[in-house]
Chains A and B, each alone.
Chain A
Amino acid sequence: MTTTEVQARPMDLLRFATAGSVDDGKSTLIGRLLYDTKSLFTDQLAAVEAVSAARGDEYTNLALLTDGLRAEREQGITIDVAYRYFATPRRKFIIADTPGHIQYTRNMVTGASTADLALILVDARKGLVEQSRRHAFLCSLLRVPHLVLCVNKMDLVDFSQDVFERIADEFTAFAAKLDVPDLTVVPVSALKGDNIVTRSENMPWYEGPALLHHLERVHIASDRNLVDVRFPVQYVIRPQSRVVTDYRGYAGQVASGVLKPGDEVMVLPSGFTSRIAAVETADGPVAEAFPPMSVTVRLEDEIDISRGDMICRPNNAPAVAQDIEAMVCWMDETRPLRVGGKYAIKHTTRAARAIVRGLHYRLDINSLHRDDSAGELRLNEIGRVRLRTTVPLLADEYRRNRTTGGFVIIDEATNRTVGAGMIVETA
């Protein structure tokens, strides 16, 4: 790769989450993607080979690449979400690699929260298992826009088209019951490299792209919401300087929509309106700002705006709501979520306190059965909750906006992040 090639085509960024256990060959798949895109370094590989040999593994255990912590190596388990990076000339990729067994839901929800795409692996010999359905459900709950099912170990089923199609059909039927906007199914052998980087000659019946080809080209630009202008004010920039006087800019990252100078805007919760005077960056003013740009917005009128306020459009605004209906995933092992419990909430750049007014049901993520007799949510459990907040949240439904629809719940005594919420309705 020469410098001119590196700079010729601007790369974009795709974040994806992988889910599955060691048995599915997930680590092998990630190892292969890293290796075949030259993102795995010889000293990393040598270290893994040495540790594998010392442990008496029969093959180079690529799981050791991602299992970086001492406890993980000693116990042969993966504890936490690990982030991996690779790039091709087209795209840079961030993998959130989530472990399959321990704290599964918590980690998967964390990894999926920022993912453009989720990659689910199944073993072709075993077909869909409970875990595959759970993965698919969590991806749909977290609104991951693109889903890829990799039917792995095709070499062990003689690259059989029948086996592949049976699994693909079954998964497609299941996904139809969920909210999965885009599903791609790829037959692969991670160990042998079939359909990972290049199309496999062992499966001429498969007409789709190799996995990497799909990851490089899947269209993610349209996943961003460019319609609803939402600019959560993060910080007010007021230079204390003799050179720059009377400057007042609202710094933040565009959550959705497009902001342009001259646009009429409304500021919540006050409801005051003004026009955008300028959209600025340190490199100068820009004609438009859109997600995920971090910019500074200046308004024509001086109105009182502070962190946690939201700039939107007068005819397209989020709800201003203190009563929130949300799906909540509980993430704390020590204390369960209980009705009547009080917590801190972080939603966009806004902080609030909230009380749990009701728990409508707990969801069995394997059967999707709703248990409306549940009195609490324990670690890794998901349920529909009604919250009342001390100050209004400026919120959209999570299905419409992942940034203004998501929040985290924090235990006020321990300061730990104990839950993740996705807003279903505001009242």
Chain B
Amino acid sequence: MTAPAAYQVTHLDALEAESIFVMREVVAEMERPVLLFSGGKDSIVMLRLAQKAFAPAQVPFPVMHVDTGHNFPEVLDYRDRRVAELSLQLVVASVPEALASGLVRESADGMRNRIQTPVLLEAVEKHRFNALFGGARRDEEKARAKERMFSFRDEFGQWDPKNQRPELWALYNGRHHPGESIRVFPLSNWTELDVWHYIARERIELPSIYYAHEREVVERDGMLYAVNDFLPARAGEERFKARVRYRTVGDASCTAAVRSDADTVEKVIEEVAATRITERGATRGDDRVSEAAMEDRKREGYF
């Protein structure tokens, strides 16, 4: 059997086809899926894949934003525009509301990454979501390298890394009992560079903070943090202007920027291709807590 060269697809096409397959499996087999949408580039790519998977029909599930209250305004604007354009149903799981109601308490360091988890789990329970699409990629972090496409969570939302279901071929097992759920990661096999190539190819608009801009920052633990309402400069920290962009977009109090002149998608691709530091290593204070910081958060139900 000799195949003409024409019957080949590029790696981006193969990744896209796999992600679309995964999303369709979920919608075909699970009653109440939801897509976790942070306004970050991975969730934006995931939303584009969802549009493609079900076209010409609408995206057949709501999106959920876990709102820490520490937002970049550019990202919130983006979220609201996208939701309106695609006539999506938006569910906001609000950390400030959960703080007010006493569900969670502010942590000592002021970071809200860890307290997002109970808020997420409460919203999942309230809306009876049983499949949560997340934009996590296996190249991001070593605990994620062993994550499944379909990742089972018990009734407490916990991940048990030593007790994962084997995942063979493209046969994903989404079966679960009431109260349990499945986290689904359609971008598992994508790398940061793949995501950027796809953004370029599909001409996907991103929140402006992903591209180089001037911003007032302080340097803390070797990382550049934007000075804002949630993150005032500490005593002794010097505020200065720098040309930066964000490689990841998370809670504004623990996401750092990197120095960059990349103000177009092409320049970002060049920069990402040449960079020698992982995106979480460069920009996420929340992963620096310990060697197993991500694993610990994932076990508790973090996304």
A binds B: yes
Instruction: Tell me, yes or no, whether A290 is within 8 Å of chain B by CB.
Output: yes
The one of A44, A241, A402, A415 that contacts B57, using a Cβ cutoff of 8 Å? A241
Residue A253, interface by CB 8 Å: yes
Contact B14 A13 (CB under 8 A): yes
Residue in A80, A252, A296, A410 whose Cβ sees the most chain B Cβ within 10 Å: A80
The yes or no answer to B105 lying at the interface (CB within 8 A) is: no
Tell me whether A226 and B1 are in contact in the complex, defined as CB-CB below 8 angstroms, given that A65-B142, A253-B170, A294-B17 are known contacts: yes
Cβ-based interface call for B2 (8 A): yes
B residues less than 8 Å from A92 (CB atoms):
11, 191, 194
A427 within 8 A of partner (CB): no
Determine which of B9, B24, B143 lies in contact with A293 in the assembled complex, contact meaning CB atoms within 8 Å: B9
* Chain A hits for B51, CB < 8 A: 282
Give CA–CA (A316, B188) in the complex, Å. 35
A189 contacts partner chain B, Cβ-Cβ < 8 Å: no
In the complex, are the beta carbons of B269 and A293 less than 8 A apart? no
Interface string of B1-15 (1 = CB under 8 A from A): 111010111110111
Does B282 reach chain A (CB closer than 8 Å)?
yes
Pick from A108-116, A200-208, A317-325 the stretch touching chain B: A108-116
Band of interface residues on B = 35 or more
Say how far A63's CB is from chain B's closest CB, in angstroms. 12
Residue of B whose beta carbon sits closest to that of A227 = B1
Q: Mark A288-300, 1 if CB is under 8 A from B, else 0.
A: 0010111010000
One of B27, B169, B189 near A406 (C-beta < 8 A): B169
**By the criterion CB–CB under 8 Å, are A403 and B169 in contact?**
yes
A337-363 interface with B by 8 A CB criterion: 344, 346-347, 349
Q: Does B171 contact A (CB under 8 A)?
A: yes
Report whether A6 and B194 are in contact in the complex, using a CB–CB cutoff of 8 Å.
Answer: no
Cα distance A51–B292 when bound, in Å? 12
B53–A70 CB distance below 8 A: no
A107 to B167, CA, bound (A): 9
Chain A residues, Cβ within 8 Å of B176: 415
Q: Does residue A407 face the partner (Cβ distance < 8 Å to B)?
A: yes
Report A234-266 residues with CB < 8 Å from chain B CB.
234-235, 237-241, 244, 247, 251-253, 258
Identify the closest chain A residue to B190 (Cβ): A85
Complex interface: chain A residues within 8 A of B165 (CB): 416-417
Interface residue A408 (Cβ < 8 Å from any Cβ of B): yes
A81 interface residue per 8 A CB criterion: yes
Q: Does A210 contact B (CB under 8 A)?
A: no
A51 to B176 Cα, complex, angstroms: 38
Write out, one digit per residue, whether chain B residues 256-282 have a CB within 8 A of any chain A CB (1) or not (0). 000000000011011001111110011
Flag if A234 contacts B5 (CB, 8 Å).
no
Q: Is B220 an interface residue (CB 8 A)?
A: no
Please, how many angstroms separate the alpha-carbon atoms of A416 and B173 in the complex? Answer: 8
Residue of B nearest to A251 (CB): B24
Residue-by-residue, is B152-194 near A (CB-CB < 8 Å gives 1, otherwise 0)? 1000000001101111111101011100000000001101011
Q: Does any Cβ of B come within 8 Å of A125's Cβ?
A: no
- Asked whether any CB of chain B lies closer than 8 Å to the CB of A272, the reply is no
B89 interfacial by beta-carbon distance below 8 Å? no
Stretch from A156-164, A217-225, A365-373 at the B interface? A217-225
The listed residue (B9, B54, B191) touching A237 by CB distance below 8 A is B54
Cβ contacts under 8 Å, A292 to chain B? 9, 14, 17-18
Alpha-carbon gap, A74 to B274, bound state (A): 33
List the A residue with the shortest CB-CB distance to B188. A83
Given A42-B277, A80-B161, A294-B17, CB of A417 within 8 Å of CB of B1:
no
- Is B281 a contact of A41 with CB atoms below 8 Å? yes
Q: Are A11 and B10 in contact (CB under 8 A)?
A: yes
A85→B143 contact, CB < 8 A: no
Interface: B251 (CB within 8 A)? no
Asked if A349 and B28 make an inter-chain contact with CB atoms under 8 angstroms apart, the answer reads yes
B143 near A222 with CB under 8 A, answer: no
State the Cβ distance, B194 to closest chain A Cβ, in Å.
7
A8 within 8 A of B: no
Neighbour of A221 across the interface among B5, B18, B53, B193, CB < 8 A = B5
Residue on A nearest B268 in the bound complex, by CB: A3
User: Does residue A79 face the partner (Cβ distance < 8 Å to B)?
Assistant: yes
Chain B residues with CB below 8 A from A94, complex form: 189
Which residues in A have their C-beta under 8 angstroms from that of B54?
237, 251
Report B172 CB to chain A, min CB distance, Å. 8
Known: A43-B282, A85-B191, A292-B14. A66 touches B57 (CB 8 A): no
- The answer to whether the Cβ of A12 comes within 8 Å of any Cβ in the partner chain is yes
Q: Which of B1, B8, B146, B197 contacts A6 (CB 8 A)?
A: B197
Question: A294 → chain B, closest Cβ, in Å?
Answer: 4
Q: Among the listed B17, B55, B164, B296, which residue makes an inter-chain contact with A253, where contact means beta carbons less than 8 Å apart?
A: B17
- Decide if A335 is an interface residue (CB 8 Å cutoff): no
Query: Restricting to A13-51, which residues have a CB under 8 Å from any CB of B?
Result: 13, 38, 41-44, 47, 51
With A11-B11, A12-B10, A69-B143 in contact, is A110–B168 under 8 Å at CB? yes
Known: A83-B188, A293-B17. A41 touches B273 (CB 8 A): no
Within 8 A of A (CB), among B21-56: 21, 24-25, 27-28, 51-56
Inter-subunit contact B273/A1 (CB<8 Å) = yes
**Is B270 a contact of A3 with CB atoms below 8 Å?**
yes
Q: Which of B15, B138, B274, B296 contacts A1 (CB 8 A)?
A: B274
| CB atoms of A87 and B191 under 8 A apart | yes
Which one, B28, B167, B270, contacts A307 given CB within 8 A? B28
Select which of B21, B58, B144, B173 is within 8 A of A417 by beta carbon. Answer: B173
List 11 A-B residue pairs with CB atoms under 8 Å apart, sorted by A's residue number: A13-B14, A38-B276, A68-B141, A83-B138, A87-B191, A114-B170, A226-B7, A227-B1, A235-B28, A237-B55, A296-B55
Q: 6 closest A-B pairs (Cβ-Cβ)?
A: A68-B142, A43-B281, A282-B52, A239-B57, A282-B55, A415-B175
Known: A80-B164, A234-B21. 7 other contacts (CB 8 A): A1-B273, A38-B276, A51-B291, A66-B142, A68-B141, A234-B25, A237-B56
